[in-house]
Amino acid sequence: MTNEATTKEHFGMKIAVYPGSFDPVTNGHVDIIRRSAKVFDKLVVAVLNNTSKNPLFSVEERTELLRQVTSDLPNVEIDSFRDLLINYMKNKNAHLIVRGLRAVSDFEYELQMASTNQKLDENIETFFMTSTPKYSYLSSSIVKEVARFHGPVSDLVPIEVEKALQRKYSPGLA
């Protein structure tokens, strides 16, 4: 039996999970989603409901924005979770995690997380996808900072997210 056959037998349908806070979803996130959707049979974009953070957008708002910007991708499912990622993945029958890397500084943290996840479940694999260079600087934090001071974010986020940011930061104008 070849390695590919063994992998197919072990993993079955290639279901990958792309977890994150997505507060808000950026063009960098969308780029990783679109590229990952080409690689895996099914991609679950899972919004982390982290109760220790104070997000700008609710989990429901983030999942709705993600649904809007990925509506043309039939193999992408949008969901949310508040458990350990490993437990969520078991519920989804997924064995593959997608993580985007922007810079070397991301790698250390992501390597720790990947190692921890594999320690918790040896059947979990993490796939690192490097950001497209034009998005390598982009983060949700940067987007929120620019939007908060009414700077232009049209090149940073999808139009749906730009409008949602305007509603958050200028409720009377949007």
Q: What are the catalytic residues?
A: 29, 53, 102, 140
Judge contact between 35 and 131, C-beta under 8 A.
Answer: no
Pairing of strands 76-81, 96-101: unpaired
Q: Please give the backbone phi and psi of residue 129, each rounded to the nearest 5 degrees, phi first.
A: -120, 125
Instruction: Give the up-direction half-sphere exposure of residue 123: CA atoms within 13 A in the CB hemisphere.
Output: 17
CA nearest neighbour of 46 among 74, 14, 11, 76:
76
